Chains A and B, each alone.
Chain A
Amino acid sequence: MIAYIAYLRRRAFYPCSMKAFADEPLWVRGGLMANFLENAGRETLSQLDYVGSLNIQLWATLRGMRAALPLVGNRLRWRAAVHQMLDIGVDALPMVALLATCSGFILAMQGASELRRFGALHYVIDLVALGFTRELGPLLTAVAVSGRSGSAFAAEIGTMKVTEEIDALKVMAFEPVEFVLAPKYLAALVAVPCLTIVSALFGILAGGLFMFFSTHLGLVLYFRYVLTSIALRDVVAGMIKSLAFATIITHVGCLEGLRVRGGPDAVGRSTTSAVVRSTFMVIVADAIFTTIFYFVGKA
């Protein structure tokens, strides 16, 4: 190990000199270890660079957000934000509602098949209500928005990059972050939580329909049970998650678009990358938030 560290130090100081590697250990020379460590280091730096870029972009967008606000900001940016809200929210409504309804049925049926064995079928109500308020509502919405809008952001901004529209904005004395990103982010911050509420409502409604058909439990009574089983902190947890997911989806989509270099094929790659990365990051963020809320709830 000492020999290997010495070798790495020489390599860092004399990157181009072959003499520096003449005495490198045999197990290192052109070996798997060196390749593995090099690749791991390169990949780590690349991921750190990505996360750093995301943070810088988020900060810049937050600073430019004032321009997109109604009354105090620029009228044209606010109009663009409203247009984006319709795109992200209203247009996705049928898809998210259907997704949530199907998932509600699935969750209720899977839960019922096990809970029935213990005579605890009524716990299906808690399962569906808490599951959708805290977890499935925000997550399903995020996956749907990531696929629809995250990819659209990457494609739109990537095309603007390729066709020099971003450069045109700069030379026309506009700030691309304020002009392009801020309305999208503001729209996502409004639309995603709204969609999450709709998603949770449809999921819980699907659970109610299942209970109605399987146990003849009336819907009014079902919703009364639902209201007793969820607390305000569950709703707040779901909303916090949905805001975080909106941030991730918007900024990953926009960053992928801004990183496009080359032609139309690069736009296609950025679109795919936006969906894959944002979905992955949403799930990681969900795990982190759930862990935090679990321990906070216990305390």
Chain B
Amino acid sequence: MSIISVRDLVVEYDGRRVLDGLNLDIEPGKITVLLGGSGSGKSTLLRQILGLEHPKSGSISIKGTDITTCSQADLKTLRRSVGVAFQSAALFNSLSLEENVALTLREHTALAPSVIDLIVWLKLAVVGLADFGKLHPQELSGGMKKRAAVARALAMDPEILVLDEPSAGLDPIVAAELDELIVFLKETFQITALVVTHEMHSAFRIADRIAMLFDGRFLAVGTKDEIRANQNPRVRQFLNRVSANPMHTPALASYLERYVQSQEAKP
């Protein structure tokens, strides 16, 4: 039984199809990595799964509730079991790190302030930021912000953890530390994680399953070994880090062709 289920998902922006009939099942207690290049539709799929946008057609079920048709109240209830760390961290700049992590606990629970303080300290300690709780986001480095975002995502002990490009823009040591943290969380708390990334090394380090997106479609979905063994040229190109010949990009090739024709047609 999958905890997140995507069925025939189609997303269009101004008539341009961004996601084209996607199907995906995310198993509980596993780390699923959404892998793909820039503009492949990873972030769009993530926003759909988080209920931030509505699809043109198709459905997304989280814990058996279809979030494309459910009420706002149901969506709110569902969201309390999902922790999200955004690519830009999206910490509230007007609040300190402690207040950022404590926000959902203060608003959604009736816990005593002393208990909340303790939970906040624990969450910050998990990501190695226990001594930085009084600082504001603008006083933190990029890596610290990302880790703080993970701490905030963990505040309510979510069943599902969603991480958007957690290691993008980080140095290799901090990125590796974050990978270790995600694996640790899965092994310790049996958390279900959906990680969006384009970092191959990180993806193969943490993933139980990998879904590879290209041009709004899944090229391959499977375990690490299945992805490694996949013979699809695009998958091979991605895995082997081979640069794409820009002349082979259909949109650019057709543009150049039209440009040459228009130049030839000129007197």
List the interface of chain A (C-beta within 8 A of B): 74, 76, 163-165, 167-168, 170-174
Contacts and interface: CB of A to CB of B under 8 A. Distances in A.
Contacts of A164: 86-88, 90
B84 A171 contact: yes
A171 B156 CA distance: 12
Given A164-B88, A164-B90, A165-B92, A171 B106 contact: no
Interface string B102-114: 0110111000000
Contact of A172 (B47, B51, B79): B79
A173 B93 CA distance: 19
> Interface residues of B toward A: which range?
20 to 34
B86 A174 contact: no
Residues of B contacting A: mostly:
mixed
A171 B153 CA distance: 10
Interface of B: 47, 50-52, 76-77, 79-80, 82, 84, 86-88, 90-93, 103-104, 106-108
B52 A171 contact: yes
B84 A168 contact: yes
Nearest to B78: A173
Contacts of A174: 107
Given A165-B92, A167-B52, A172 B104 contact: yes
Given A76-B106, A76-B107, A171 B88 contact: no
Contacts of A168: 84, 86, 90-92
Contact of A163 (B50, B76, B88, B108): B88
A111 B51 CA distance: 61
Contact of B90 (A76, A167, A173): A167
Nearest to A167: B52
A134 to B, nearest CB: 38
A172 B47 CA distance: 14
Contacts of B51: 170-171
A168 B164 CA distance: 12
A170 B86 CA distance: 12
A173 B106 contact: no
A165 B91 CA distance: 7
Given A172-B79, A172-B104, A173-B80, 15 more contacts: A74-B107, A76-B106, A76-B107, A164-B86, A165-B92, A165-B93, A167-B47, A167-B52, A170-B79, A171-B84, A172-B84, A172-B103, A173-B77, A173-B79, A173-B104
A164 B50 CA distance: 13
A133 to B, nearest CB: 37
A76 to B, nearest CB: 7
B82 A171 contact: yes
A167 B79 CA distance: 12
Contacts of B77: 173
Contact of A167 (B82, B86, B92, B107): B86
